[in-house]
């Protein structure tokens, strides 16, 4: 499920990113470029986080950025961005993030399927640690493929 959307083009790695806003812009960029989302979707995510949306912090330094489908989702998509050093979500010290996912769900069923697959992957300590330790798209894909096989 996850590797249907996560590939060399949607797995990004950056160092010295300026902050959470730039991280959201960058993690959304592949979905914007492919037409999966519109610019309105990126703006909705930024507005939601700025309004206190640290609920996207999944723990372990991982955040799942998303907005409502009607805010500009054209088709389901998923992308990921690893940042070094970590950035503070909404500039709050309680929310350091080193891995951002961007989920664009065209409908509730694809939303639930993607969340279930991601949740299963991230709930396994060893798999989650391997994913967080990835430094290249190939390393990340190797971890994601093991998650798809389970």
Please give the sequence-ordered ranges of beta strands (E in DSSP) within the chain, or none if there are none.
11-15, 57-59, 62-65, 77-88, 96-104
Spans of all domains in the chain:
2-149
pLDDT tens string 29-39: 999 999 999 99
Q: Which CATH superfamily is domain 2-149 in?
A: Mannitol-specific EII; Chain A (3.40.930.10)
Is residue 97 within 8 Å of 57, Cβ to Cβ? yes
Give me the pLDDT at residue 114, please: 74
Q: pLDDT tens-digit profile of 130-148?
A: 999 999 999 999 998 876 6
Find the mean pLDDT for residues 92-120.
86
């Amino acid at each position: 499920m996850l590797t249907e959307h996560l590939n060399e083009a949607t797995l990004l790695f950056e160092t010295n990113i300026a902050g959470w806003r730039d991280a959201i812009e960058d993690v959304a960029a592949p979905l914007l470029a492919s037409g999966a989302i519109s610019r309105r979707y990126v703006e909705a995510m930024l507005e939601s986080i700025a309004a206190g949306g640290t609920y996207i912090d999944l723990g372990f330094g991982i955040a799942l950025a998303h907005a409502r489908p009607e805010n500009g989702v054209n088709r389901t998509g998923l992308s990921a961005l690893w940042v070094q050093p970590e950035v503070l979500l909404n500039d709050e010290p309680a929310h350091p993030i080193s891995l951002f996912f961007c989920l664009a769900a065209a409908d509730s069923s694809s939303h639930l399927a993607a969340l279930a697959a991601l949740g299963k992957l991230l709930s396994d300590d060893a798999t989650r640690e391997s994913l967080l330790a990835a430094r290249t798209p190939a390393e990340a894909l190797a971890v994601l493929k093991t998650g798809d096989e389970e």
